[in-house]
Amino acid sequence: MAQLNILRYPDPRLHKIAQPVTVFDARIKQLVADMAETMYAAPGVGLAATQVDVHEQVVVIDVSDEGKNLQVFINPEILWASDEKRIYDEGCLSVPGIYDGVERPARVKVRAFDADGKAFELDADDLLAVCIQHEMDHLKGKVFVEYLSPLKRNRIKTKLQKEEREMKKKAG
């Protein structure tokens, strides 16, 4: 296993649309393992392949307190979303240190494949529902800050670009 490099907003690669996985092989299993290791090390509760510059529809999530309940969603699709909405303070490994409220459906039903290519359906609510929707947005090239006002989004972009320049100065 290997830790992968997580793209940081506003990297344009975060806006690429992920393609469906068509072959469930050792490469996909390795990608899932590497993504899980990267997510746990970050630490985070979800990671989409887009965030590690792999533009395939692969998501790993673990919302458990112990970090021992890895869930894999390949080619996920939302079959149903509740009319009831909730606002959660979301964060993102590609937007480090930034948290803000995003309104999303409170419950969803999702269909996906696991790493072996076995189809499943899952009803999700609370943090898991939010996480599924957040990570699926990444697969569509959307980052959670795009739900925020243009003013907040520009402030976040400026802050992260400044941090990036400072990190390069220290490293260089």
Residues annotated in a binding site for Fe cation: 92, 134, 138
Torsion of Cα atoms, 134 then 20 then 42 then 120, to 10°: 70
Strands 71-81 and 107-113: antiparallel
Judged on CB neighbours under 10 Å (0-12, 13-18, 19+), 12 is: exposed
Closest alpha carbon to 92 in 42, 35, 18, 128: 42
Catalytic residue (one of 84, 90, 121, 135): 135
Is residue 135 annotated as part of the catalytic site, yes or no? yes
Residue with tokens 């409220």: 101
If one counts every other C-beta atom within 10 angstroms of the C-beta of residue 22, the result is 9
Binding-site residue numbers are 92, 134, 138
Just list the catalytic residues: 135
